[in-house]
Amino acid sequence: MDQFDNVIEEIKQKNPIEDVAVELGLKFEHGNGRYRRVPHSGGMIVNVGRQRFFNATAGTNGDVIELVRIVKGWEFKTAAEWLARRANVEMPNWGRMSDDAIKSFRFKVNVFEIAHSLFQEWLWEDAAALEYVRGRGFSDDVIQEAEYGFSGRKTDKQLSEMKKQFDLWGIKHDAPAAVTILGYKGDMAKWADLWGVDRKSRDWDSKWEDNGRLHGMMITPGIVYAHRWAGQVNYLSRRQLPGFEFGEDKKGKSFNPQRVLVGGREPYFNYVYKGDDENCVIVEGPADADSWGVWGHSAVALCGVNADDEGMASLKSRLKRHKKLYIGLDTDETGVAKREKVAAFFGPMARILDYETINPPEVLEDVIEDEASDE
């Protein structure tokens, strides 16, 4: 299934939704910009940055495959194959999977998407969590655009709501991806063997077996960030609310789903990100990236991905359409060392930003202006 998922992601990457929409006969009011409206369509809007479409009247939304499926009236399998041929990429190996099985698979790999829909609702219901995000300098419009969520306070009501959503899509509560949301208590070794989780992996922590539990997104209150790529949420991360740090030393300020269960960390692309922007800023955390979004710049947060991680090569490929990359990592001792490695990894297309004493957007504008004059 990993190979299947990779092929589907490549199909979406090689088929920009705005180009496919035009080919399907949808005409935009404006030829550029992050949001492109299709007139006389009942409210269809294509978000170029998120690579998703929304139709308020029809109540539909989704990625480029879903757009083709709806416009053409096809099944998911047929739509994906049409896009594969269009982009001249490898056809998915469906094997003996029926259309129902394919749909079921898609729903299951979208556990993060399902969970985050509730996390978004919970944020607007929790005054303290909402006030914390606003206190970071984000307006309500930005909070909505960035799709911030709240992991909840582990109330019986919230646990029941999440489990009902999983039940609706046929997702078992103890499935590995679901456990990264709900957490788990019990015989960890038995659970891992049941789900085929490799306990010999270097990413497996023996303390999980000793303690008989696994941490999940809902275990402690925090702001949840949706890491989107190719039109879907492919990762979630959480930043603790003040006073809810976790761990034996109470220094745990953030949580990333266990690598052995859902794969490595994923970068976070801010809410104004456009893959064809001339410039992109590389920062440390999601809130940093969205601050650059407020200032009008595409930005991506590494979220712990290091220059020597396998995920960095994938990120380099995703950012290849930008003419210039600006490295704006933290200026503490760790951040300075890391930004040098990151800049070296991206090569001559990268520029290091040092904005310790100056307003960040002013620095970037100055750098861009100076480089333009040099050319």
Task: Answer yes or no: do 122 and 254 share one domain.
Answer: yes
Distance in angstroms (rounded) separating the CA atoms of residues 135 and 242? 12
Domain of 226? 111-262
User: Does residue 249 sit in the same domain as residue 341?
Assistant: no
Are 291 and 251 in contact by the 8 Å Cβ rule? The answer is no
Question: Rounded to the nearest 5°, which phi and psi values hold at 54?
Answer: -140, 140
Q: What is the CATH number of the domain that holds 360?
A: 3.40.1360.10
Query: At which of 262, 285, 320 does a domain end?
Result: 262
Assess if residue 84 is contained within a domain. Answer: yes
* Average pLDDT rounded to a whole number, residues 170-190: 94
Domain count, the chain: 3
Residues in the chain: 375
Q: Has residue 105 been placed in a domain?
A: no
Each residue of 162-178: pLDDT tens digit? Answer: 999 898 877 899 999 99
Residue 120 has a pLDDT of 96
- The last residue of one of the domains, among 50, 72, 98, is 98
Q: Is residue 18 part of a domain?
A: yes
**Residue 127 within a domain:** yes
State the pLDDT at residue 241. Answer: 95
- Residue 213 domain-assigned (yes or no): yes
Q: Are residues 277 and 151 in the same domain?
A: no
Phi, psi of 324 (to 5 degrees): -135, 140
Pick the last residue of a domain from 38, 71, 98. 98
Q: Does 115 share its domain with 258?
A: yes
**221 domain residue, yes or no:** yes
Residue of 178, 167, 164 lying closest to 111 (CA atoms)? 178
Tokens of 36: 């492109």
Return the DSSP state at 90.
Answer: P
Does residue 193 surpass a pLDDT of 80? yes
**223 and 330 belong to one structural domain:** no
What angle (nearest 5°) sits at the alpha carbon of residue 92, between those of residues 89 and 95? 155
138 and 196 both lie in a single domain: yes
pTM recorded for the entire structure = 0.79
> Are 185 and 212 within 8 A, CB to CB?
yes
The larger pLDDT score, comparing residue 253 to residue 249, is at 253
Reported as a single tens digit per residue, the pLDDT across 77-86 is 899 999 999 9
In a domain, 133, yes or no: yes
Residue whose pair of structure tokens reads 């006969």 in the numeric block = 25
pLDDT at 318: 84
Among candidates 293, 235, 240, which has minimal Cα distance to 133? 240
Same domain, 137 and 58: no
List Cβ neighbours of 89 (8 Å cut-off, separation of 6 or more). 7, 10, 11, 14
276 with 258, same domain: the answer is no
